[in-house]
Amino acid sequence: RIQVLLDKILSFPLGYGRYMLNLILAILIKYLPEVENNLPEDQIKDNLLSIENLLKAIERHNVVCFLLQGNKTNFRQEDTFRDINYFYRYGKSFTGLELLKVLSENRVEHFNWDSFRANIHKKTNRFFGWKGVNYIMREWECTLSNSEKIENYSLNYIYPESDNEYIRKSYIQINSQIKNNRDKTTYSLGNLYLSRTVRTSYDFDTLKKRISNSLIKNEIIFNTEKEILDYEEWNIDSVKTRGTKILYFMINHWNLPSLKQQTQIDDILIN
């Protein structure tokens, strides 16, 4: 589990949170058992659990501060270096539990959904142009499939981009919107899915048939792709419903503030 968490932290785009590696090194030096030691087995287990919990907090910190909030790569770097000194040099007065609280509360308390919305909506391609979308979709897939990681995937649209106008017309309700709103729908979170196939446009019935045929042939299909079969048709409500499902996954997975009103959710997703 520790290795999986380390891999996640190292996989953030653009080197987000890379300075956290200094803190991780301090944690490992302090808690990782030496090959030959006289520590009781219970103490070793406690130390490994402390490493795991702190790495989870670091991963969550990076998700919240960089992917969701959109802070720059050096956000609160000096604070983290100060944490390292307190934790590594003065461990008796700044324990692992105190470090865990700082990472889980103090360093992420600035997060709010309005800032997340602004971070997404300032991009021309909305969620598709967001640097965090691959990380979020991978985590959703890993959770659905109970996997540690996935590889060799492509991020795809259900309702396609404007250069596939012929296919777009098959999505009658979505395509009845003005051009700007059609594009917003294409780049909305609920309209995206992971697949092993390179980005290709399909009408909805053909897409579902392709997924069903792959399942019949026992081909590898991602769960985020398979669950498209749960929808009878693909319209604006379908995009919002699926996007809401992903947002709630994010809230539960990283213990984020709740979203209580559907209007707020819709505003984040597509408005």
- Ranges of H-type helices in the chain: 2-10, 20-31, 41-62, 77-89, 96-101, 113-121, 133-145, 165-168, 172-175, 179-186, 204-216, 223-226, 236-253, 262-269
Closest CA to 263 of 238, 246, 240: 240
Q: Which two tokens stand for residue 171?
A: 């999505």
Q: Residue 125: how many CB atoms within 10 A of its CB? A: 13
pLDDT per position as a tens digit, 156-166: 999 998 888 89
166 and 187 housed in the same domain: yes
Give me the phi and psi of 165, to 5 degrees please.
Answer: -60, -35
If one counts every other C-beta atom within 10 angstroms of the C-beta of residue 166, the result is: 9
- Closest to 53 in 3D by CA, of 105, 12, 11, 5: 5
Query: Given a cut of 80, is residue 199 above it in pLDDT?
Result: no
Residue found by looking up tokens 């995937």 in the block: 153
Q: Of 111, 142, 164, which one is at a domain's C-terminal end?
A: 111
Asked if residue 198 and residue 158 are part of one domain, the reply reads yes
Amino acid 95: pLDDT: 76
Mark whether 77 and 185 lie in a shared domain.
no
pTM for this prediction: 0.90
165 and 93 part of one domain: no
Q: Percentage of residues in the chain with pLDDT exceeding 70?
A: 97
Span 31-89, pLDDT tens digits: 887 766 677 778 778 888 989 999 999 999 999 999 999 888 878 888 888 888 888 77
pLDDT above 80 (res 117)? yes
- Please count the other Cβ atoms lying within 10 Å of the Cβ belonging to residue 193: 24
Q: Which of 72, 91, 111 delimits the end of a domain?
A: 111
Q: Are residues 139 and 265 in the same domain?
A: yes
pLDDT band with cut points at 50, 70 and 90 for residue 91: low
Are residues 97 and 182 located together in one domain of the fold? no
Let me know whether 23 and 103 are in one domain.
Answer: yes
166 and 250 fall within a common domain: yes
One domain for residues 58 and 24:
yes
Count of structural domains within the chain: 2
pLDDT at 120 over 90: yes
Domain boundary among 77, 94, 111: 111
| Average predicted confidence (pLDDT) for the chain | 89
The range of the structural domain enclosing residue 191 comes to 114-269
127 and 24 belong to one structural domain = no
User: Please, is 257 exposed, middle or buried when counting C-beta atoms within 10 Å of its C-beta (0-12, 13-18, 19+)?
Assistant: exposed
